[in-house]
């Protein structure tokens, strides 16, 4: 359990994540995949993870063991809602940070020899780590990313309402059962001996995580707000019998070629209905109708700007595209 001491400056710098962070979900889900708890909620998903090739999960579970310290570089402090950007950030980790985190991890026990190459920042080990992250995400998370992102977004909408209606202190008091606000101290988590953290103006970011399971995770790095990742209240049934896995070529099969191309175009930049029709070589009424279908599915947002309506891919739409095409 952490006792996080906030100053007035810290309270002014409390913020919420902007969406599901794929790197945090990757790290937490690896711990769930290799564990045995939470069977009611995660059991069916965990069973499917056992079908994946062993090496990728072995690599990641070494870096994020079920118990104890998980390396900080797997969850970049700046955060992201793009898996590709997250992988790039991890692979650009400074050598000293690799060495620092892996030295700390070695305190949990003997590490495989490949971690020495990673600590030295050697290119083959970096490529192997990148391949493991992508292969794992493709198999374990991408098929379910729409459900993951949707539930995180719903939680962020709820906490945003808390912040707007009652201010920062109401947010801290009501965000999660794992957080208790005793001004000026935020009690986070239930497990372990109490540890004090004095932010002294560092600020704090709250990050709900689909796979955090039953406790909070803290990330504290210099020059960044403290990240407090806490679990969602999940119900069984999110992992359906049908595996909704998407291959890179299957978006057009799912949406039809026009809507698949439209989502791709709108992920690059916002376009008016007329501009969108021109890019897709279709009529304005058809472009408007197809954009509405994607908007109703939560994959596109539309806003009026003057006389025009501007369309762009939503975070969920971008997650879907990332899940369908990411490769290293």
Query: What gap in Å lies between CA 80 and CA 83, rounded to an integer?
Result: 7
DSSP string, 255-290: H-HHHHHHHHHHHHS-EEHHHHHHHHTS-HHHHHHH
Q: Are residues 298 and 190 in the same domain?
A: no
Mean pLDDT of 228-237: 86
Domain carrying residue 271:
251-325
Are 173 and 307 within one domain? no
pLDDT tens track for 278-304 = 888 788 888 888 898 888 888 899 998
**Amino acid 327: pLDDT:** 38
On whether residue 299 sits in a domain, the answer given is yes
Q: Report if residue 120 sits inside a domain.
A: yes
Residue 101 lies in a domain: yes
Q: How far apart are CA 203 and CA 87, in angstroms?
A: 25
Whether residues 216 and 257 fall in one domain: no
Mean pLDDT over residues 45-58, rounded?
78
Residue 238 pLDDT greater than 80, yes or no: no
**Measuring CA to CA, which residue among 323, 326, 250, 251 is closest to residue 294?**
251
Name every residue whose Cβ is closer than 8 Å to that of residue 228 and which is 6 or more positions away in sequence: 4, 179, 186, 188, 204, 205, 206, 207, 216, 217, 218
User: Are 39 and 158 in the same domain?
Assistant: yes
User: What is the predicted pLDDT for the residue at 247?
Assistant: 41
Higher pLDDT, 317 or 72: 72
Tell me whether residue 129 is in a domain.
yes
Residue 267 in domain: yes
Same domain, residue pair 9 and 45: yes
Mean pLDDT of 103-120: 92
The string of pLDDT tens digits covering residues 181-191 is 999 999 998 77
């Amino acid at each position: 359990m952490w006792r996080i001491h906030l100053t007035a400056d810290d309270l002014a710098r409390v913020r919420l994540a902007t969406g599901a962070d794929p790197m945090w979900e990757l790290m937490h889900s690896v711990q769930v995949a290799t564990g045995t708890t939470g069977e009611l909620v995660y059991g069916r998903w965990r069973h499917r993870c056992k079908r994946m090739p062993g090496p990728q999960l072995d690599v990641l579970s070494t870096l994020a063991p079920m118990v104890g310290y998980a390396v900080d570089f797997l969850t970049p402090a700046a955060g992201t809602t793009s898996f590709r950007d997250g992988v790039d950030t991890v692979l650009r980790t400074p050598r000293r940070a690799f060495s620092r985190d892996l030295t700390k991890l070695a305190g949990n026990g003997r590490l495989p020899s490949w971690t020495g190459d990673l600590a030295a920042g050697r290119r083959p080990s970096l490529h192997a780590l990148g391949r493991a992250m992508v292969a794992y995400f493709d198999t374990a998370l991408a098929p379910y990313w729409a459900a993951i992102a949707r539930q995180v977004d719903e939680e962020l909408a709820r906490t945003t309402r808390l912040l707007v209606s009652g201010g920062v202190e109401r947010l801290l008091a009501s965000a999660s059962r794992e957080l208790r606000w005793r001004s000026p101290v935020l009690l986070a988590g239930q497990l372990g001996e109490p540890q004090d953290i004095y932010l002294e103006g560092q600020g704090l970011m709250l990050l709900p995580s689909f796979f955090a399971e039953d406790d909070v995770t803290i990330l504290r790095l210099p020059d960044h707000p403290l990240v407090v990742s806490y679990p969602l209240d999940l119900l069984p049934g999110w992992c359906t019998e049908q595996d909704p896995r998407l291959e890179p070529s299957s978006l057009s099969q799912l949406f039809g070629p026009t809507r698949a191309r439209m989502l791709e175009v709108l992920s690059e930049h916002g376009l008016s209905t007329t501009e969108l029709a021109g890019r897709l070589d279709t009529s304005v009424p058809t472009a408007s109708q197809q954009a509405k279908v994607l908007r109703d599915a939560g994959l596109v947002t539309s806003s009026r700007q003057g006389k025009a309506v501007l369309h762009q891919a939503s975070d969920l739409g971008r997650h879907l595209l990332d899940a369908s095409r990411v490769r290293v």
